[in-house]
Amino acid sequence: MKKSLLLIFACLLALSVGLAGCSSEGGDSKKGKTMIYGRGGDSVALDPAVVTDGESFIVTEQIFENLVQYGKDNTEIEAGLAKKWDISDDGLKYTFYLEEDVKFHDGTDFNADAVVENFKRWSSSKDEAKYAYYPSMFGGFEGDEGHVIKEVKAVDKNTVEFTLTRPQAPFLKNIAMSPFAIGSPKAFKDGEKFAKQPVGTGPFKFKSWKPNDTIEVVANEDYWKKGLPKLGGVKFKVIKDNAARLNAVTKGEIDLMDGLNPSDLAKVKENNKLQVFERPSMNVGYFGFNTEKAPFDKKEVRQAISHLINKQEIIDNFYAGTAEPAKNPMPPSISGYNDSVQDYEYNVDKAKELLKAAGYEKGFKMDLWAMPVARPYMPDGQKVGEAIQASLKQVGIEAKIVTFEWGAYLEKVQAGEAPTFMLGWTGDNGDADNFLYTLLDKDTIGSNNYSRYKNEEVHKLLIEAQQLSNEDERNELYKKAQEIIHEDAPWVPLVHSKPQLVGASSVKGFVPHPTGSQSFVDVSID
């Protein structure tokens, strides 16, 4: 019995090793090779209008296109399905001139009516649970008081006119966001199926989806930009563990991956079969104070702690240098960034002075909430938490590290239970409003203003900036707001991280976009 079993095993092993050499490299269409993209999680759904997670947008960016789109590595606006556009002087009328002869993957025509139907689908749904992004970017749904879009009208077959109720400065940046991609009206009227079998105008067509495993898209042979895409298709493969994903790309089983552990960076750089891509930063990781809770209701205490944290040391130790120190709540790549703000320098004596002024000369005890999960802006929350803990000890502040499972953590921090906490934010549309107003305005206490920071002057500036369409005047207001926020120190902004991706050296033309999702339209594999 034993011998025969051994024999069978030996045969199987020999067979499999023998065949290792001659496994076929098929599956590539005539046009180009299929690229395998490894990532840490699956998409939730493939209807861009209803999802909010980055893993979904990574795929929908291939299938859909917007009227206007972001630049390859920035959030400047470029032509998309609209080849040009006019804006009226009062900032209330946007006229888009559409590309002609564009077809959806199901063969129906893309035209002005299709655009109207898409916006109608979102604005008339009044379903905030389903279409979460629309009301948050455009101030509500049709009929709501704050709704920005008064009317979307097809002037002729290839001209669409948007009328706004009030000027919205980031309007073009908003409609370039992944959730506002244009889908085939015929397909989404079909209902449920659209989220699993999406139909757009993009360079790739949806092919198949094995949940938590693989999503496959294939080249759209009738794509309106001639000669594109260069790839025959893309397969999005879920490998949850970062180290295992790196093993797969090292072995050549996948061609490109996101989510490299910063600690593996050196190993990858040594390997000449691999290349590293750096995503420009559009995020901020921070250490926040609950400004309603003593002693953090005192500005001096917050400033003192700001003087105690050595950001460069944190970056060197936990980000392997793949981040830059943050001094404002938004990253420098976003227009309106105030570079003249002087960061609180690392200075223990100054911190002691400030604490003395606040009456906490001998320090105090506090809870420090550390993030339980890795996020692009915070690869290891626990360890960064320990580093902050050690810094605070220098002035006699005893910090106890507290943590919860991620879902519970967010909920409790949002409810104001945490006296101090670590969190971060990745921008949606590359606009200052999406950082400053969303994270630090008094209107957003209870949602994303976790610090419960309230400053009337900041509020006035941010609201005024929302209405302005002149970019320079707007930026001045944001710069002013950053100065006040810096002085009040509701957070210690820690870092703007630059997430790292790894690809086989044969991958050409890939440029990671700051928003976290990008089209693979002109990527190729040698």
Partner 1 sequence: MFAYTIRRLTSLVPVLLGMIFIVFMMIRAIPGNPAQLILGQQATERAVAALTKELGLDQPWYTQFWSYFSGLFKGDLGVSLKTNTPISEEIWPYLAATIELSLAAMLIAVVIGINAGIISAWFQNSWFDYCAMVLALIGVSMPIFWLGLMEQYIVAIQWDLLPTTGRDNIRDAVDPITHLYLIDTLMHGRIDQFIEVIKHLILPGFALGTIPMAIIARMTRSSMLEVMRSDYIRTARAKGMKMFWVVYKHSLKNALIPVVTVIGLQIGLLLGGAILTETIFGWPGIGTYIYEAISSRDYPVIQSGILIVAFIFVLINLLVDLLYAAIDPRIKYK
CB of 387 to partner 1, least distance (A): 24
* Amino acid identity at 7: L
Identified binder of partner 1 from the candidate list 7, 14, 29, 53, rule CB under 8 A: 53
Footprint of partner 1 on 297-326 (CB under 8 A): none
Q: Which residues contact 308 (CB under 8 A, 6 or more apart)?
A: 346, 348, 351, 391, 392, 394, 395
Asked whether position 374 contacts partner 1 by CB under 8 A, the answer is: no
| DSSP H or E stretch at residue 319 | none
**Euclidean distance between CA atoms 246 and 105, whole angstroms:** 34
Inter-axis angle of helices 381-393 and 299-308, to 10 degrees? 110
CB of 132 to partner 1, least distance (A): 5
CB of 95 to partner 1, least distance (A): 30
Asked whether position 29 contacts partner 1 by CB under 8 A, the answer is: no
Structure tokens at 401: 């590290």
Q: Is-contact 354 301, C-beta < 8 A? A: yes
Identified binder of partner 1 from the candidate list 88, 212, 467, 470, rule CB under 8 A: 212
Asked whether position 63 contacts partner 1 by CB under 8 A, the answer is: no
CB of 282 to partner 1, least distance (A): 14
Binding part of the chain for partner 1, among 65-73, 230-238, 343-351, 514-522 by CB under 8 A, reads 230-238
Asked whether position 248 contacts partner 1 by CB under 8 A, the answer is: yes
Footprint of partner 1 on 184-203 (CB under 8 A): 192, 195
Residue-by-residue DSSP string for 361-405: TT--EEEEE--SS-BTTBS-HHHHHHHHHHHHHTTT-EEEEE---
Asked whether position 45 contacts partner 1 by CB under 8 A, the answer is: yes
Q: Which residues contact 162 (CB under 8 A, 6 or more apart)?
A: 93, 94, 95, 96, 149, 151, 152, 153, 171
Closer residue to partner 1, CB minimum distance, 84 or 196: 196
Comparing C-alpha atoms, which of 342, 252, 358 is closest to residue 305?
A: 358
- Would you give the DSSP letter of residue 301? H
Comparing C-alpha atoms, which of 489, 301, 285 is closest to residue 383?
A: 285
Tell me how far the alpha carbon of residue 66 is from its chain's centroid. Answer: 17
Footprint of partner 1 on 249-278 (CB under 8 A): 250-251, 253-254
Asked whether position 405 contacts partner 1 by CB under 8 A, the answer is: yes
Closer residue to partner 1, CB minimum distance, 352 or 496: 496
Identified binder of partner 1 from the candidate list 127, 190, 313, 487, rule CB under 8 A: 127
CA 318 → CA 209, 244, 312, 374, 375, distances in Å? 36, 20, 10, 11, 13
CB of 283 to partner 1, least distance (A): 12
Binding part of the chain for partner 1, among 83-91, 129-137, 321-329, 377-385 by CB under 8 A, reads 129-137
CA 4 → CA 9, 14, 16, 409, distances in Å? 9, 15, 18, 56
Identified binder of partner 1 from the candidate list 112, 169, 219, 238, rule CB under 8 A: 238
CB of 66 to partner 1, least distance (A): 18
* Amino acid identity at 2: K
Footprint of partner 1 on 418-437 (CB under 8 A): 425, 428
Q: Which residues bind partner 1 (CB under 8 A)?
A: 1-2, 5, 9, 12, 15-17, 19-20, 23-28, 34, 36, 38, 44-45, 52-53, 127-129, 132-133, 135-136, 192, 195, 208, 210-214, 235, 237-241, 243-245, 247-248, 250-251, 253-254, 404-408, 410-412, 414, 425, 428, 446-448
